[in-house]
Amino acid sequence: MANPKFELVGLIDRDESRLAAALPGNSKVKRALSRRLADVPWIGEVDALTIGTSPFSHYELIKEGLELGKHVLTEKPFTMQVSEGEELVQISESQGKILSIVHNFQFSKAAQALDRDLAINRLGAITSIVAIQYSNPRRRLPKWYQDLPLGLFYDESPHLLYLLRKYSPSEPILESIDIVPSTRGDSTPASITARYKAIRADGKEIPVIMMLLFETPISEWHLTINGEEGLADVDVFRDIYIQLPNDGLHVTSTVFRTSWQTSIQHWGQHFTRGVGHLLGKLRYGNDIVFDRYADAILSGKPPEGISGQHALAVLKMQHEIISSNRRVN
């Protein structure tokens, strides 16, 4: 593994072809064809697990791992039901084991640049936060996503929800949900818009909005933070960060300034990030996720931003939207 704090013991899968594809024939990494962790002959050599299966099996595998005395890092979405997530958090705490989730984009290079600007108050007082996703249904998607609640929403919304939670000045409070059914007959809606409010330190309310569009000809994910003195945009897919100053009267000179600064920042980062993408070295914050997971195991303290409690909070936001859709229907 890239992180020296871990030693890769082995891989487990229920599909032999996937195991063979993941490991070269001469690899010393152990492998096991199994549906249950307890049936893996070398499971006793393992201290920590990572789970990258479909969401439907997360609960059973996480629970079994924790009850076997293992630390667990799981992919999102956390579980299929809030009650399952609550149970797993309780088990991890009672067992004294670390439970973590891969909420990685909050640690990307673009997000770190945003963090630095917020730390020096470069944007001024925050006036709104918007997370938007354009999703092309033709792009590569897992076979099972249409079987999830609201389809692709359930698999992908955690990323935008944890970003909104991280950057909102207070816990976002849901105000309204707008769900437009698919025009294609899919379980994934054509669009979902969730409107929240958050409270700034000065007591003023600001809008926090998540908009997911699932039937678009391109795929783009963006987090935009608007402040009184400037705007910041995180291009999630490209891992690019753009910061623009307030354009005042919006006259010709400031319009050109915005265009020029956007272009320079975009292409300047696109060349460096693009090379990393081509070489398979663009980590999108996953390196920090694994580092925090390791440090949490060594210290016994829950990892900031990716703990079981963070996973549960995002899971509850997902089900708040799902429940709203059921009430409407």
| Per-residue pLDDT tens over the stretch 189-222 | 999 999 999 999 999 999 999 999 999 999 999 9
Report the pLDDT value the prediction gives residue 327, as an integer from 0 to 100.
53
Give the residue among 215, 220, 178 at the shortest CA–CA distance from 195. Answer: 178
Report the pLDDT value the prediction gives residue 163, as an integer from 0 to 100.
98
Residue 328 has pLDDT above 80, yes or no: no
The percent of residues above 90 in pLDDT, for the chain, comes to 89
In the predicted model, what is the mean pLDDT of residues 43-69? 97
> Which secondary structure element, helix H or strand E, spans residue 215, and what is its range?
none
Confidence of residue 26 (pLDDT cuts 50, 70, 90): low
Q: For CATH 3.30.360.10, list the domain ranges present in the chain.
A: 105-278
Torsion of CA 56, 145, 180, 210, to 10 degrees: 80
Instruction: Provide the mean pLDDT of the chain.
Output: 95
Does 3.40.109.10 match the CATH number of domain 10-103+285-307?
no
Confidence of residue 1 (pLDDT cuts 50, 70, 90): low
Report the pLDDT value the prediction gives residue 325, as an integer from 0 to 100.
67
pTM score, two decimals?
Answer: 0.95
CATH number given to 105-278: 3.30.360.10
Rounded distance between C-alpha atoms, residue 62 and residue 68, angstroms: 10
Say which residue, 18 or 72, is predicted with more confidence.
Answer: 72
Please list, in sequence order, all residues whose beta carbon lies within 8 angstroms of the beta carbon of residue 209, skipping any fewer than 6 positions away: 128, 129, 130, 131, 193, 194, 195, 196
Q: For CATH 3.40.50.720, list the domain ranges present in the chain.
A: 10-103+285-307
Confidence of residue 20 (pLDDT cuts 50, 70, 90): confident
In the predicted model, what is the mean pLDDT of residues 228-236? 98
Please list, in sequence order, all residues whose beta carbon lies within 8 angstroms of the beta carbon of residue 48, skipping any fewer than 6 positions away: 6, 70, 71, 72, 73, 98, 293, 297
Residue 2 has pLDDT above 90, yes or no: no
